[in-house]
Structures are given as structure tokens and as C-alpha cells.
Structure 1
Amino acid sequence: MSTLVVGDGRVVPAPAARPAAHVIRDDEEAIAVARDVAARIADGAVERDRQDLFPATELDLYSDSGLWGITVPRAYGGADVSYGTVGHVIRLISAADSSIGQLTQNHLATVAVIRSTGTEAQKADLFAEILAGKRFGNAFSETGTRTVRDLKTRFVRDGRDVVVNGVKHYASGALAADLVQIVALDDEGRSWLAIADRAAPGLTVINDWAAFGQRGTGSGKVLVENVRVPERRVVAAWKAYLPETPTADSAISQFIQSAIDAGLAEAAIAETEHFVRTRARAWVDSAAERAGDDPYTIHALGELHVRLSAAKALLDVAGRAIDVAVEAPSPDSVAAAQIAVAESKILTTEIAIESTNRLFELAGTASTDRALGLDRFWRNARVHTLHDPVRWKYAIVGDYYLNGRRPPLHPWS
């Protein structure tokens, strides 16, 4: 799979078995491991993007490191790190390769759902699998419906199994997953996670992701045709979004997206500075000898850093709010976490798009050479930030403060 070309339309087999993952013990170790992994996966990022290669080897390195298990509760053997640490880890990985950072998103969101709505037996079963290094891959979104929340995928119970049917798109991580969490509705219209083995009969992953950014996510199509899933692995995700007993799951899902964008922005700004220092020329009307001494360039980079610092600070604030909501979930604590994440998401989205765009303005025409691959930052930021519209983030923040209305409870809020 290391040479898989994303978007070639092939049916992709399940990944081979891997050795058990390392188990990370605390926040400090998680950040240290993330720094090491990020440094190693950054090599080859340009070439992978240029050739549309799926980062299978790098993904194995990432998940084998134990970073995919850091939110497993301590009672089940995990580190249960703070969400501030989660944000830091995702930023580091996404700065190295934002596609690889995104591959973690649905996995960690699923860990949160299991924690909040899974039975004790499901937690013991699935958390052990996660700590051993098993990866979740997403089978959630569909196309052709009125909104992203409208799903056609259904399941019916049959003995000790459920049987699931549907077609999924934008299935980030499913290509290289060990377990695929299929979002399906019961006969009452409630959403569940039917967690199928990647090699389950009837579950077909098609490599047809054709977007111009985030190519390495391989977010293709999943056909679900009479897939049988043991009922013990069907998790009541709908319980996470009950108004009277909400959980932090919606905030967690959006928080990880925000951290990916912050990492993208950090990387773009670093690349801009490197290019300005080493290759860019001062403008003809400037008295400066070096591009790095141009006052307008200095001002522009200062502005980008201020906005990035604000975005990272709000990401940390959001992480702390999530920790409170996980520890003591209530309508008020969950709403506070959602609002903190929305504020963070606004700034990380805007700085990701602005920094990746201004890279070329400040670096100049030479930076557009395709051999450099610098366009990947803008393409990745533009595609990834389409997960949910920032205009709606502004709306829920304003409505919360002005009218006291809590945000809606779903994975995009």
C-alpha cells in the first residue's frame, strides 16, 4: 500500500497485520513522541503530494508510536491526556503533513464516542484494540441528500448481528483502517456506529478521492452491502447529542479539525520565512538589500504571527473547556466547550487560508515553481477548511452571547 496512488479508482484490500503499538503513558511523552514522528514524516511530504501517494509507511509509523491511543481513559490502560496536549500533537503532525494529521481526526472522534456512549463491555473491548494499535477509518458522509446530516444508510438486527447497507463518500482513513465505523440509522432514525472489520464481507473501499488538496487522506468511497457487524460492536452514538445529557463529542470533533488548520498555518509561515531569507529579492522600490529587511514584508509576517498566536491561544482555551466538559458534562459545560472550539475554529481557518495565500505574495514568483511543492499548503488549507463553514461558526458564537442560545448538538458544532 505504500505505493498506492490516490484516486486511481481501485478497490483497496485491508492492510496487513502490524505489531502491537507502543503505549504512551502521559502528556509529556505524547508531545515528545509527536515531535519525533513529525520530524520523520515531514521527509517526503512534497514527493508524496506530487505523485499522489498514500502515506502508508508514515501512517504505520504514526499509529505504531502510540499517539492514536492517547485519549483512552486511564481506567482502561490509556494516558487520557488533556485536550490541550491532543491539540499540540495534532498541530505538530499536521505541520509535517496535514493529510496524515487529518487521518487521526475520525479515529480520535470515535474514541470519544465510545467513551461517552459505549457500554462497559464495548469500552473494554474497543479500548484494548485501540491501545494495541488498531486504527479506525471513517464511513460517515453521503452525497445526494439535502444536508450532511441526512443519511440513507440503515441497519437491521438479525440475531446477534446487525446487517448494514449504504454508500459512503469522503471516507477519510478507510483505505488503511483496521476497523471502519459505519454511521447508520436504526428504524427510529437514530444514528449508531456499526464498527466493522475492514475485511468484512460486503465492505468495499474504493480509492477514488480526486480533490486537489489533502490528497494523502485517500478519502474515497465505501460500499456497504449486507455487511454483518456483531451487535456488541454497535455503539449508540445518538446518545451523545441528547439536549438533556449532552457530551463533549461535538466539540472534540471540531477541535481536532481546528488543530489541523493551526498546524497547516504554522508550516506555511515557516516556509514563507525560509524562502524570504534564502531566495526572495527585495522589491525594486525598496532601499533594503535583502527581502528580509523590507519593512512591508516584516510587517506582513508580524501580522501573520500575531494571528497565529491568537489562534493557538484559543485552541488551548478550547482544549481546557473540553477537559471540563469531559470531566463534568452538562448542557452548560458542553455549550461552553462548543463555543470555545467555534472561536478557535474561526481563527485557525482564517489564518490557514491567509498564511498559505500570502506565502506566494511574500516569497514572489519563484515560489510558484512546481518542483518546490509550496502550492500544497494552499490546496490543503482550502480543501480541509471546507469541512464546515466559518460563517456558521460566527453565527452560533453571536447567538450564544447575545441571546443565550446554546449551539446545536451534532458533529459539526
Structure 2
Amino acid sequence: MSIAVAALPLDAAPERILAFRAPPPRAGRAHVIKDDAEAIAVARDLAARIAETAIERDRERRLPYEELDWLSDAGLFAITVPKAYGGADVSSGTLAEVIAILSAADGSIGQIPQNHFFILHALGLEGSEEQKRFFYGRILSGERVGNALSELGTKTAQDHNTRLSRDGAGLRLDGRKFYCTGALFAHWVAVVANDDEGRSTISFVPRETPGLTVVDDWSGFGQRVTGSGTTVIENVEVHPFSVISLRAVFDRPTSMGPVAQIMHAAVEAGIARAALAETIRYVKAHARPWKDSGLEHGYEDPYTIAQIGEVKIRVAASDALLARAGRYADIAVADPTVETVAAASVAVAEAKVASTEASLLAASKLIELAGSRATQQQFGLDRFWRNARTHSVHDPVRWKYRAIGDYWLNGINPPRHGAI
């Protein structure tokens, strides 16, 4: 089945474009961020507000509908929209830094935009001019895309049983997804499915489409409010206009993989920063000295001082590798070749290894150095480790070590997919 997108006037009404049940545009108009510096400044302002209630949100599993509306209204969900369509088109490094800033405030909220931006990047690579005009316009108004990518019960997390099948002049989706981060809060759900020829596709499905059911059943011990649960897709009607190819973005060298992965590295980097900052704050304010030390204050303990020094170095290295990976990713965006995409993928993998290990170390040392009192639920200090550990198993670091080693030792390029 070849899915052809019919040419439509760029000013066509949403009802004509999608032919059925296009949601009305989001009320009001979100702020439009103009450049990279503004994106980072806005992220910092919002992160300060988000951090104020992070402990309660995690403890009570209070889903962040309001907080995500803050991000939408401020324009952060539109920062990668190309300038030709009215967006800021920020660099990969800025995108990663925005996600790291939000993740430092709340790891769950930092992760939610990742798949939104992943889908927008695929749209930029494979969407038609009409599709870009329509969907970028909706994103600039503050709308959000959630994902329905992975499934339970398949051989690997990248395999899909969900099907997109021809039905007369239209299409139908059927399947069941899990790990659907952000779908609960989305205006559009991006459903990955194989077509009748087994080719991987992405369908933009309005959140309220009949037959599409998003279930709040995520029970992970970390990243508790990402909404990463089940999406059930039963005989869902899809117009060809809302479909793009996913397979095509990996069949040729593109920046899809590095851009997807740098955002995961950024989540871990943000958690690492926050865990280190909390360690320093708590140790200075509350940690008691060990009785054999003869010291007056816990922050004078030489072993504590040395270990905080070690964590600081690891977090700083993680940040440096993340910034470096952003530069490599931007080269791949501007000039996608076999060589530039491979180099970017490896640089991002190096950043992901460093940020994962830094976040787990910092989150563990926080509890160790802060002492027994720090395990009390009222402080919520366990959330850093729980969030880092939960998010870090998204794709295994042990395979990144192999890909990095093969590249530098044997000159073997890593595979082209979204998990390296």
C-alpha cells in the first residue's frame, strides 16, 4: 500500500484537510518564542514554578495537566518549528538544554515533550508542504503531540503489531500500545503502525477520535506522572493526509536518531544536576558529622567533601558531552550524510552514557551523604533515583558502550534507528 497525500489548498479548513473530526484549534494563541536565548530563559522561569510542587506531584501522582498548559502557553512546545513556518527553529543543543532544565525541576515533565519533538522532527523530514503548514500551525497555537509508539508482547520494543490498513478511500488503525508518554495530555496522538506492506508509519490521530482510548495505567516507581500507559486503538478512522512514513527517516541518513536520543540524554542530565544541587543544599543544612570525626558539621567531613567533588566532576562532564553532542547533531541536521549522522549518533550515545551514570551516581550519593533522615518521605529525595533509574532503562547503556567502541576501534558506524 502506497499512502499518497492528496494536494490540498494551504488555506483549506481543518475539516476539509482531515475530512472528519479534526479537533477545533486550541483556544487562544500561545506565545511564539523567537530564538534560542528566549527558549532557555522561558524554560528557566517555568522550571522554577514547576519545581515548587515537584515533591507533592510525585508523591500524590498528580498528573501535570496545568503545568503542561503553562509550557504550551509559553510557546515551549513549538520551539523546533522551522522559521519558515513561524517558529524559532532552535538548535539541537538548545532543545536538549530546555529539556534538561525542565527535567531538573521534575523528571517526568522533562520527559513528556521528548516524543512530541521526535514526531515534529519526523514531520519535518517526511511531511508534505501541506502537512507541515497544517500541523506546525496547530503546534504554534500550543497543541501537543503524545506518542503511541511502543507495544508490550512484541519481540523487541521496536516491533509493532499495530496495523494501518486501507479501507476504501480512507485508512483504519487497529492495535494496542504501551509506554505512551504524554498521550493523556495530548491534542494529537502519534500512532506508529505497519501498513499493508509492512512499512512503518506515523498517523496523527486527534485525541478524541472514536475508537482511540488512552488509559491512565502507568504504575512505574519512577517518572510517575508522565502518563506513560496504554493506548487502545480499535477500528480508528484515519485520513491519508494525517499519515507520514517513519521507515523512510531511517532508510536514508537523517538526523532523526541523534535528535531523538539527545533528548533522552538531556532528561538524565537534568536529573543529575538537580540531585547534585539537592545534595549540596541538604548536606549543608542538615547532615550531621560522624561521631568519630571530631567535627562540628557534616559538611566538614573530608569523605563527604571528596565524594561531592567526584559527583560534581561527573555531572560537569555529562553537561559538556551533552553540549558537544548538540553541535554534532546540528551538523547532521544541516548536512545529513552517512558520516555526519554516524558521528552525531556516537557523540549523542557518549552523552547518554555520561548523563545516565551521572544521574544514578548523584541520586544515590544524595541519600548516602544526606544520612538516614533523608530517607523520610516528607523530603521526597528518593524521587531523583527513582526517576533516573526508570527513565534510563528506556534503552540500555551497555549497548551504547558497544556502539561507541565499535565506531572508534573498528570504524563501524552504529545502526540507524531511534535508540542509539
Aligned equivalents of 1:218 and 1:284: distance in 2? Answer: 45
Contact 2:172 2:236 in 1 (8 A): yes
Aligned equivalents of 1:15 and 1:274: distance in 2? Answer: 47
Equivalent residue number for residue 257 of structure 1: 264
**Letter aligned with residue 33 of structure 1:** V
Alignment of 1:35-50 (within 5 A): 35-50=44-59
Equivalent position SS for 2:164: strand
Equivalent position SS for 2:393: helix
TM normalised by structure 1 equals 0.94
Aligned equivalents of 1:17 and 1:132: distance in 2? Answer: 6
Alignment of 1:190-339 (within 5 A): 190-242=199-251, 245-339=252-346
- For 1:328-356, what per-residue CA distance to the aligned partner results, in whole angstroms no more than 9, with x for missing partners? 11111111110000000000000111111
- 1:288 CA drift (Å): 2.4
- For 1:92-150, what per-residue CA distance to the aligned partner results, in whole angstroms no more than 9, with x for missing partners? 11100110010000001111101111111111111111111110001011011111121
Equivalent residue number for residue 73 of structure 1: 82
- 1:225 CA drift (Å): 0.5
Q: Which moved more, 1:285-294 or 1:249-258?
A: 285-294
1:340 aligns with 2:333: no
Contact 1:15 1:177 in 2 (8 A): no
- 1:161 CA drift (Å): 2.6
Contact 1:282 1:291 in 2 (8 A): yes
- 1:377 CA drift (Å): 0.8
Aligned equivalents of 1:17 and 1:114: distance in 2? Answer: 20
Alignment of 1:343-382 (within 5 A): 343-382=350-389
Equivalent position SS for 1:222: strand
Aligned equivalents of 2:180 and 2:264: distance in 1? Answer: 15
- For 1:163-214, what per-residue CA distance to the aligned partner results, in whole angstroms no more than 9, with x for missing partners? 1000000100000100000000012211110110000010001111111110
Alignment of 1:77-226 (within 5 A): 77-226=86-235
- 1:401 CA drift (Å): 1.1
Aligned equivalents of 1:317 and 1:16: distance in 2? Answer: 38
Equivalent of 1:20, from 8, 12, 29? 29
Aligned equivalents of 2:170 and 2:328: distance in 1? Answer: 38
Aligned equivalents of 2:158 and 2:375: distance in 1? Answer: 39
**Letter aligned with residue 100 of structure 2:** R
Aligned equivalents of 1:316 and 1:173: distance in 2? Answer: 26
Equivalent position SS for 2:173: strand
- For 1:38-65, what per-residue CA distance to the aligned partner results, in whole angstroms no more than 9, with x for missing partners? 0111111111111111011111101211
For residues 103 and 372 of structure 1, do their structure 2 counterparts lie closer, same or farther at Cα, with a shift above 3 Å needed?
same
RMSD: 1.3
- 1:16 CA drift (Å): 10
Contact 2:25 2:141 in 1 (8 A): no
Aligned equivalents of 2:290 and 2:178: distance in 1? Answer: 47
Equivalent position SS for 2:359: helix
Contact 1:145 1:151 in 2 (8 A): yes
Aligned equivalents of 2:45 and 2:165: distance in 1? Answer: 45
Aligned equivalents of 1:207 and 1:281: distance in 2? Answer: 42
**Letter aligned with residue 240 of structure 1:** V
Structure 2 residue runs of 5 or longer lacking an equivalent are 1-22
1:393 aligns with 2:400: yes
Aligned equivalents of 1:265 and 1:30: distance in 2? Answer: 21
Contact 1:15 1:176 in 2 (8 A): no
Aligned equivalents of 1:15 and 1:286: distance in 2? Answer: 66
- For 1:63-102, what per-residue CA distance to the aligned partner results, in whole angstroms no more than 9, with x for missing partners? 2111111111111111111111111111111100110010
Aligned equivalents of 2:171 and 2:293: distance in 1? Answer: 70
TM normalised by structure 2 equals 0.93
For residues 182 and 276 of structure 1, do their structure 2 counterparts lie closer, same or farther at Cα, with a shift above 3 Å needed?
same
- 1:17 CA drift (Å): 4.6
Aligned equivalents of 2:96 and 2:313: distance in 1? Answer: 19
Of all paired residues, the percent bearing the same amino acid is: 51
**Letter aligned with residue 161 of structure 1:** G
For residues 303 and 15 of structure 1, do their structure 2 counterparts lie closer, same or farther at Cα, with a shift above 3 Å needed?
farther
Aligned equivalents of 2:293 and 2:25: distance in 1? Answer: 58
For residues 175 and 16 of structure 1, do their structure 2 counterparts lie closer, same or farther at Cα, with a shift above 3 Å needed?
farther
* Alignment coverage as a number of residue pairs: 398
Contact 1:100 1:217 in 2 (8 A): yes
Aligned equivalents of 2:169 and 2:313: distance in 1? Answer: 56
Contact 2:191 2:203 in 1 (8 A): yes
Aligned equivalents of 1:315 and 1:412: distance in 2? Answer: 16
- 1:290 CA drift (Å): 1.1
